[in-house]
A and B are shown apart, each in its own frame.
Chain A
Amino acid sequence: MSVDPQVVAGEDLREAVRGIVAEVLMVPLGDVRPASALVTDLGAESIDFLDLIFRIEEAVGKKIPISRWEAFVTDRLPGGNLAREITTAVVVEFAEQERDRPLA
């Protein structure tokens, strides 16, 4: 699924991220809810998170180094149980952050 980066505003980006999560994790779209934990509920593995980053890059039209995802998770979920706390909503928040990040 390719996503036109020109339509990733607001609701479109949220739905785009839901679709990306469903495709990468090979789960029904209906199972991808904002509170769905990617690891414990949807079975994500570490390499899946890299695929999510790749797909979000395509969606927002910007290169995203792994370090940006790591920094976001560290800041957003300090000391948390990442297996439970990285949810679809968190991934959407990351995608929105990257979309709105000014190009260097």
Chain B
Amino acid sequence: MSAARPAAREPLAHRAWSVAPGAWVALALPESPCPSTSLGGRERRVADRRAGRVAAVVALRAAGLAAGTACVSRSHSAGAGAAVAAPAGWSAGVDVTPIGRVTLRHARAVAAAGEIAAVEAAAAAPRAAALVWALKEAAVKAAGRRGLGAMPEWAIRRVGAGAGGGWAELACSVSRARVLGGWQAVGDFVCAWAVAPPTRFCWFDRATDSRLRRRPRGAPSS
């Protein structure tokens, strides 16, 4: 019989920061060393999803937005949860990844050598693989897509570092959509996000997950 639900009620510390006008990212981490890593299967998923929900509440509160009228993306892994909340009409995606979980092999499966090198140059090399993964995952989610196959479509075009984190611009080779990304390293995790206001775009039909072949009327050319 599995343990009672201590992991589901594990105290979570949270923090939030603004990533664009009206858009906030929040991160929820276990206050003590994460028991989620010792859980398996459904138990781990329950604990992780709770962290994602907490992060979503914190992000919405920080942004001053209501759940039903905001663009929200959530992520969870190894006991940590992350969320980005942006005004309705924006595109936003977030990913939280344990730094040690992603190897160069994983990164090479979804990114070109030049992208990995650029991220290594901007951020500490041990984090590069996790950053590449998290940035691409965030961009895919911002575009309303899903799955491993979409990650190689998003190229990390430019990248720069700041205090404890950095920024990136990603572009989709298929749709030519672009998003502004960023990251923060917090403890053993990296949290990455990708956002685009309504005047930019992600050219995917969210309802059908189908690509729009033409730039939507009124969208800018770059």
Contact = CB atoms under 8 A, between A and B. Distances in A.
Interface of A: 25-28, 31, 39-43, 45-47, 49-51, 53-54, 66-67, 69-71, 73, 82
Given A40-B45, A50-B106, A50-B109, A66 B148 contact: yes
Given A66-B110, A73-B147, A31 B41 contact: yes
Contact of A43 (B42, B137, B148): B42
A27 B148 contact: no
A66 B149 contact: yes
23 contacts: A26-B40, A27-B41, A31-B40, A31-B41, A39-B45, A40-B45, A41-B41, A42-B41, A46-B137, A46-B148, A47-B97, A47-B101, A47-B102, A47-B106, A47-B133, A50-B106, A53-B148, A66-B152, A69-B148, A70-B147, A70-B149, A71-B149, A82-B146
A70 B146 CA distance: 10
A50 B41 CA distance: 17
Interface string B88-102: 000000000100011
Interface of B: 39-45, 48, 77, 97, 101-102, 105-106, 109-110, 133, 137, 146-149, 151-152
B48 A43 contact: yes
B149 A43 contact: no
Contacts of A67: 149
A39 to B, nearest CB: 8
A73 B147 CA distance: 9
A43 B109 contact: no
Nearest to A26: B40
B116 to A, nearest CB: 15
Given A27-B41, A31-B40, A47-B102, 18 more contacts: A25-B41, A39-B45, A43-B39, A43-B43, A43-B45, A45-B77, A46-B147, A47-B106, A49-B148, A50-B109, A50-B110, A51-B106, A53-B148, A66-B110, A66-B148, A66-B152, A67-B149, A82-B146
